[in-house]
């Protein structure tokens, strides 16, 4: 495999350079003196930003963009083998790396690399750790899977030997990473278009943990079932965490009127500090506990970590308040798995609103079919549920599954649920039925956010 060496800057070409993750990695290489070129289907704010940093970007993708002076080509899972640039690189026998492989190569250039994994909460926990590490003046390089306002985007380029990133399990991407400190937040059945079942997913997380070197450490949620299957025989140090369980425990947890948690962090019966969050929900107390456990392993002071956590007010599309209209508060959230939906709605129900409306857009046909009953149970926490069409993403409908089937399940459970095939119909319905004092939560990994933004006049 081609090796990225910061001491030997080379020419790296990105197929699809305008993607949020690809653009961030390209920016890191530009900062290190690499020659960066790339292509995309059209110009965008991200490609314009990269050009301003010194990248050369071509539109559209073409075999002619693969020139002989390129040392390595980077591509994502979305690039098919019939892509003209992919084919040209293969013909010219230019070394190629997937996005995940490039990320792993970048991490190997840092003394301390942290990777946050788990089927839920990666972006939030990575963002919490970002705030902690910056508050403690570690000056890390950061790659996060969402827009973090405090760093002005999804990437931060530091000058220290610390690198922090998310580690995504889909298509086993995280098996290209070899962090010195890894975090596993949770393991649920998801991405069943790739994984066979939950045991297959657990096997991949075990492989990820096994790649942490001796002398490194794994921080893992003590609430994961059959934890020993994931940790027995590892060469690295294993540290557990949890709410009232694990080596690092969030104890004496309380919530304010906005559902934001405060807690003592304890280890071996000793209180290490008191921490107050600016994001709601028990799940975020757990996420904060994971971030703090990592921080203590790095030797960071509790008081500065507390300041960093308190400053974190969320990332885009993670329980993000979009605005108010007619006394109705509109919040958007990225939740698209039953576990994420459940914890988000539980947090929402603790807030001082009259009724909680959830507008949910299922994400992919395979996930909706495999977890239909779990979706219905999780969504039933809301007072009123409105369903949009399934967001296909990478799939086509070959399974005979629909949002109407999910609506029927909710109706059979005695819930008020509606399905509309268009956003315009949903918006009209909400304007007619939501009342002052209600919370309207748009939820999903697709473009459901547009509904709230349209109601607020933001789009």
pLDDT bucket at 71, cuts 50 / 70 / 90 = very high
Tokens of 352: 């001082």
* Mean pLDDT value across residues 299-309: 98
Q: Which stretches of 150-290 are assigned E, i.e. beta strand? A: 153-156, 162-166, 181-184, 217-221, 237-243, 248-255, 260-267, 270-280
Q: What is the pLDDT of residue 109?
A: 95
Model confidence at 363: pLDDT above 90: yes
Alpha carbon of 14 to those of 38, 76, 89, 273: distances in Å?
4, 9, 11, 45
Instruction: Detail the DSSP E strand segments found in 65-168.
Output: 72-75, 96-98, 112-117, 141-148, 153-156, 162-166
Q: In which band, very low, low, confident or very high, does the pLDDT at 355 lie, cut at 50, 70 and 90? A: very high
Does the pLDDT at position 316 exceed 80? no
Strands ordered across the beta sheet of 35-39: 56-58, 35-39, 11-15, 72-75, 96-98
Evaluate if residue 459 carries a pLDDT over 80: no
Choosing from 122, 266, 322, 384, which is the catalytic residue? 122
pLDDT score recorded for residue 419: 98
Average pLDDT for residues 309-330, to the nearest whole number? Answer: 91
| Local confidence band at 394 (pLDDT 50, 70, 90 cut-offs) | confident
Q: Tens of pLDDT along 80-107?
A: 899 999 999 999 999 999 999 999 999 9
Least confident residue range of 182-186, 278-282, 396-400: 396-400
Burial of 346 (0-12, 13-18, 19+ CB in 10 A): middle
One of 85, 119, 126, 166 is an active-site residue; which one? Answer: 166
Q: Classify strands 260-267 and 248-255 as parallel, antiparallel or unpaired.
A: antiparallel
169 is catalytic: no
Q: Assess whether pLDDT exceeds 80 at residue 315.
A: no
Return the biggest CA–CA distance within the chain: 65
Q: In the chain, what percentage of residues exceed pLDDT 70?
A: 100
- Give, in degrees to the nearest 5, the angle at Cα 221 between 219 and 223: 160
pTM of the full predicted structure? Answer: 0.84
From 184, 132, 180, select the one nearest 304 (Cα to Cα).
132
pLDDT per position as a tens digit, 211-258: 999 999 999 999 999 999 999 999 999 999 999 999 999 999 999 988
Q: Which of 41-45, 215-219, 407-411 has the lowest mean pLDDT?
A: 41-45
Q: How confident is the model at residue 112 (pLDDT cuts 50, 70, 90)?
A: very high
CA dihedral 192, 196, 197, 199 (to 10 degrees): -130
Whether 122 sits among the annotated catalytic residues: the reply is yes
Question: Cα 317 to chain center, whole Å?
Answer: 10
Q: Which domains, ranges and CATH numbers included, belong to the chain?
A: 11-97 (3.40.50.720), 110-311 (3.40.1190.10), 320-455 (3.90.190.20)
**Mean pLDDT rounded to a whole number for the chain:** 95
Confidence of residue 161 (pLDDT cuts 50, 70, 90): very high
Average pLDDT in the 405-429 region?
97
Active-site residue 349, yes or no? no
State the catalytic residue, choosing from 47, 85, 101, 123. 123
| Amino acid 364: pLDDT | 92
**Is the Cβ–Cβ distance between 46 and 23 less than 8 Å?**
yes
Phi-psi region of 290 (alpha: psi -120 to 50; beta: other; left: phi over 0): alpha
Name the region of 65 (left: φ>0; alpha: ψ -120 to 50; beta: rest).
alpha
């Amino acid at each position: 495999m081609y090796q990225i060496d910061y001491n030997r800057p080379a020419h790296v070409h990105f197929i699809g350079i305008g993607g949020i993750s690809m653009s961030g990695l390209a920016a890191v290489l530009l900062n290190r003196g690499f020659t960066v070129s790339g292509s995309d289907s059209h110009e965008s704010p991200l490609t314009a930003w990269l050009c301003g940093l010194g990248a050369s970007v071509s539109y559209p993708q073409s075999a002619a963009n693969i020139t002989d002076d390129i040392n390595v080509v980077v591509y994502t899972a979305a690039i098919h083998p019939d892509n003209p640039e992919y084919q040209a690189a293969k013909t010219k026998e230019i070394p190629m790396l997937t996005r995940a492989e490039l990320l792993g190569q970048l991490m190997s250039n840092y003394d301390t690399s942290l990777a946050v994994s788990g089927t839920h909460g990666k972006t939030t926990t990575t963002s919490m750790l970002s705030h902690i590490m910056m508050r403690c003046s570690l000056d890390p390089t950061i790659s996060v899977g969402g827009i973090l306002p405090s760093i002005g985007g999804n990437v931060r380029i530091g000058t220290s030997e610390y690198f922090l990133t998310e580690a995504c399990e889909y298509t086993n991407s995280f098996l290209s990473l070899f962090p010195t400190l890894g975090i596993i937040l949770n393991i649920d059945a998801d991405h069943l278009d790739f994984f066979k079942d939950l045991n297959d997913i657990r096997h991949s997380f075990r492989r990820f943990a096994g790649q942490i070197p001796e002398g490194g450490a794994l921080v893992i949620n003590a609430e994961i079932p059959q934890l020993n299957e994931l940790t027995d025989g590892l060469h690295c140090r294993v540290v557990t965490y949890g709410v009232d369980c694990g080596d690092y425990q969030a104890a004496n947890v309380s919530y304010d009127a906005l559902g934001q948690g405060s807690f003592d962090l304890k280890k071996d019966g000793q209180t290490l500090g008191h921490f107050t969050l600016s994001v709601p929900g028990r799940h975020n107390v757990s996420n904060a506990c994971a971030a703090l456990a990592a921080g203590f392993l790095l030797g960071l002071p509790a008081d500065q970590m507390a300041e960093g956590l308190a400053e974190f007010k969320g990332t885009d599309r993670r329980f993000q308040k979009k605005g108010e209209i007619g006394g109705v508060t509109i919040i958007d959230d990225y939740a698209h798995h039953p576990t994420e939906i459940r914890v988000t709605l539980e947090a929402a129900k603790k807030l001082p609103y009259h009724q909680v409306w959830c507008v949910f857009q299922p994400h992919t046909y395979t996930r909706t079919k495999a977890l239909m009953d779990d979706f219905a149970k999780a969504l039933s926490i809301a007072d009123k549920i409105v369903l949009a069409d399934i967001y296909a993403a990478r799939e086509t409908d070959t399974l005979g599954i629909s949002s109407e089937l999910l609506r029927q399940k909710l109706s059979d459970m005695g819930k008020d649920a509606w399905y509309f095939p268009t956003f315009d119909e949903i918006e009209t319905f909400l304007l007619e039925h939501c009342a002052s004092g209600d919370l309207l939560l748009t939820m999903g990994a697709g473009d459901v956010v547009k509904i709230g933004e349209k109601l607020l006049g933001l789009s």
